[in-house]
Amino acid sequence: MQEKIGKVTLDYSRYSGQDFYSDGEIEDELLETVKNHTPEEYNRIIREKNNWPFLYHLSFLRENIVEWVPMDKKAKVLEVGSGCGAITGVLSRKAGEVTCVDLSKKRSLINAYRHRECGNVTIHVGNFKDIEQDLDTDYDYICLIGVFEYAQSYIGGNTPFEDFLKILKKHLSPKGRMLIAIENKLGLKYFAGCREDHVGTFFDGIENYKADAGVRTFSRMGLERIFKACGVEKYHFYYPYPDYKFMSTVYSDEYLPKKGELTTNYRNFDKDRMLLFDETRAFNGIVEDELFPVFSNSYLAVIGDGFDVKFTKYSNDRAEKYRIKTEIKKVTDEDGKQKMQVRKYPMSAAAGKHIRELGSAYEKLSGRYRGSGLEMNRCTLEETTEGVAANLEYVEGTQLSERMNQCLQRDDLDGFYALFREYVEKSGYNEAAPITDYDMIFSNVYVSGDKWTVLDYEWTVERFVNPRMLAYRALHYFRKETEYSEKIDMDRILRELCISKAEADAYLDEEQAFQDVVAEDYCSLEQMRMSLGNRMWEPQKSLECYPDSAEVNRVQIYEDCGEGYSEEKSYYVREAYRSDKDIAFEIPVGSDVKMLRIDPSLCSCVVKVKKLTFNGTDVDCKGRKQFIINGTLLKPGKENPASVCMVFSTDDPNINISLGKYPKQDKNVLHAEMEMIRVPSYVAKDMENGAKRYFRK
């Protein structure tokens, strides 16, 4: 059975008639959106909907993970787990034939409607194990983007990942490649406080997952073990940053990141997160110690030959006419020697003009700075199948920003200010010339001996710009990158530049106006992250607020077997506190226990009991004889009798539960979920008095 949506074919011959995987009603909204709107409207809709599913499924930035991969129009591609079609479109544009497989009919319909003009796409709906027998055996590319981690669901068995890979290998042409995009379970973001992407808990991957997790990601070595177990001899690793979902940069073993480059680290679009440490500073140390492949947040593992492209950076999170990508690849020169080449491409027809302007910018800036000791990276334009491209030389040397950072690291402040003054002198050379590289920040300048080279001059304007403004702007961005910003004396900087604080503030206002021009009406990922409003919690600040938290945030249990409570028969529940306020635990209870006392903390506080069960039965928190507290009830539970809120003005709050009315078993379990908020005792006393007056009325 087949269905046509525009030019896309949907094949239901292996569909069971039931979707076993769904995000619910949001998928109905997505389907209506792609039916009635064009892709050009998606960004506006994403901004208006302001939710994670629309951003995740419809953002064109999702395509970056495979857009950089070289494919020709004869390529035959299999996309397993195509979902709502986040990358199907780019595969259709790059390849000759795209075969998709997905378990969900609803998601496949979304994919088909959004790509209805793609005549080279066929979508097979159903379980991969059932569809696999219908698939060809000569695919040039097999894409598993966020799919391999679900092999247990796809395949089952004791070795699902190895079995999945062996099955897929049978469908790969002799010179074909398999692309596996997957999170690294040891990614730095998880150590720093991001929740595991799939199960939504903290540190689950780092702790090697629970047995029933149903999903599993891997370290690099873990993936390599699977590859070798499947007889894979040739594979390469690439490193999407910040992660593969919304990749802005991809590195390789032949082009790894440099210190100061990894600064986009707040990745909590769909979930709250902790901020346990500064990821930028941690990445700087990791890069310095050559450990980035171990702690990269994501991998793109390529089974088969690698690519000549060693690095790609996307600058497409902005207005369409400025969307470009920069790649570094290995090429062979006229003498037959291999060398690195830098090339910039437009990411849209509208951005072609932006690339072409680099050629004239090179000529004009070279003229302005002739004799200054500051050179422009040589640029030539070339017409390619992807449109106009700008070729630039691969410059060896050290970033000026790194040299300045090294000075700060070793407290060589004289050296730092000397480099800053040299930058001000060189960048301000011939300042009356009506041509300016607006973005001449320190990281765009490479230093090799006495030679200073500007790598990139994308934002060149044909007008005078105050060189003091450019220098202050460069320092502004450097301070965001460096881990030693506190060592920079900003008053001295203002004196060096002969500007006032008011002028400096005006320069930053001008910078914001420039960013508004670059963005136009486009809503960037950072704006979306802030708009979605997911919390970033800094435990260190909580510890500083309550330095005694380790002693106070403790749950103590007392048991009365008919002889009353005693300290000797009490114990503390380890790790009951999941955060500074969230309590969750399960404890065994002996069949001879008549009363149970829970001390939720050792301070005056407000406690909300969210769930309290004994052997799966809700504890009646409104029963005055069965549920006794030495505080005051604030709000009786309504819909859920186990959900109550109470305040304690004592430093020894306790909750007593009579177990007489609850059936006992050989093994009994008390499950508790609570929230504890510390309040001063005098505030708690006022709350208690207010609650008592309310209940008297």
CA distance 478 to 441: 8
* pLDDT value for 638: 54
Residue-wise pLDDT for 227-275, tens only, equals: 999 999 999 999 999 999 999 999 999 999 998 899 999 878 888 899 9
Q: Is 691 helix (H, G, I), strand (E, B) or coil?
A: helix
Q: What is the CATH number of domain 318-521?
A: 1.10.510
Check residue 634 and give its pLDDT. 83
Task: Give me the phi and psi of 194, to 5 degrees please.
Answer: -80, 145
The structural architecture, per CATH, of the domain 2-186+208-245+299-306 is 3-Layer(aba) Sandwich (3.40)
Cβ(636)–Cβ(588) below 8 Å:
no
The pLDDT value given to residue 624: 73
> Is the pLDDT higher at 74 or at 1?
74
Count CA within 13 A, CB hemisphere, residue 122: 16
pLDDT at position 696? 52
pLDDT on residue 328: 96
Please tell me the predicted confidence (pLDDT) of residue 551: 82
Condensed to tens digits (0 to 9), the pLDDT of residues 319-349 reads: 999 999 999 998 887 777 888 999 999 999 9
With 0-12 CB in 10 A as exposed, 13-18 as middle and 19+ as buried, what is 64? buried
316 and 59 in contact (C-beta within 8 Å)? Answer: no
The arithmetic mean of pLDDT across residues 206-220, rounded, is 91
Per-residue pLDDT, 269: 87
Mean per-residue pLDDT of the chain: 92
The answer to whether the CB of 499 falls within 8 A of the CB of 492 is: no
Domain ranges of the chain: 2-186+208-245+299-306, 318-521, 545-696
- The DSSP-derived string for 532-565 is HT--EE-HHHHHHH-TTHHHHS--EEEEESSS--
Q: How confident is the model at residue 43 (pLDDT cuts 50, 70, 90)?
A: very high
Average pLDDT over residues 25-46: 95
Least confident of 72-86, 536-550, 555-569: 536-550
Contact 58, 46 (CB under 8 A): yes
Considering only CA atoms, which of 164, 140, 136, 139 is closest in space to residue 150?
164
Q: Is the pLDDT of residue 619 over 60?
A: yes
User: Counting every residue, how long is the chain?
Assistant: 697
CA dist 402 and 397 (Å) reads 11
How far is the CA of 562 from the CAs of 377, 567, 596, in angstroms? Answer: 85, 15, 11
Q: Look up residue 353 and give its two tokens.
A: 């003009």
pLDDT tens per residue across span 479-499: 988 889 999 999 999 999 999
318-521: same fold as 2-186+208-245+299-306? no
Q: In this predicted model, what pLDDT tens digit does every residue of 640-695 receive, in sequence order? A: 555 689 999 999 999 999 998 899 988 899 999 999 999 999 999 999 888 776 55
Tell me, letter by letter, the H, E, C secondary structure of 400-419. HHHHHHHHHHCCCHHHHHHH
Q: In this predicted structure, which of 441-445, 519-523, 653-657 has the lowest mean pLDDT?
A: 519-523
Predicted structure pTM score = 0.80
Residue pair 555/636 in contact (Cβ under 8 Å)? The answer is: no
